[in-house]
Amino acid sequence: MSVDYETIQKIQKLGDDVLIGVVEVAALTGFSILTVRQRKLPGLDPVPGLSRLRWRLGDLRQWMRCGPQSKAAADIATNAKEPSRPMGRPTKKSQVEGRK
């Protein structure tokens, strides 16, 4: 995969409030354009309400500094607080006991 250094240099000079597109996010993060377009970057959501996918440059820079752990860690923490229950279909015995 080739690195687009020209795009990266142009973006480095911009402020945090600038909106950037899929190609720019892919160039900065190193992910493919398809991965970015499919929004498979955990914790990095595009700006809502726009007809095209755009990200705030400041949000992207913060995401690159902290990594995707900020949202993923919160999800793991909430899952750990929930009581564990058996997955899958209940056994016939538990179904019969539940009717009594």
Residue 88: per-residue pLDDT: 84
- Give pLDDT, residue 17: 87
Q: Could you give the angle at the alpha carbon of 60 between the alpha carbons of 19 and 27, nearest 5°?
A: 80
Closest CA to 27 of 6, 45, 13, 52: 6
Confidence at residue 54, expressed as pLDDT on a 0 to 100 scale: 92
Q: Which CATH number is 1-66 given? A: 1.10.1660
Give per-residue burial for 3-14: e unless 16+ CB within 10 Å, then b. eeeeeeeebeee
Q: State residue 16's pLDDT score.
A: 86
Count of C-beta atoms within a 10 Å radius of residue 42: 14
Backbone angles phi, psi at 51, to 5 degrees: -75, -20
- Contact assessment for residue 49 and residue 17, using Cβ atoms and an 8 Å cutoff: no
Whether this prediction's pTM lies above 0.75 is answered by: no
Flag residues of the chain having pLDDT under 50.
Answer: none
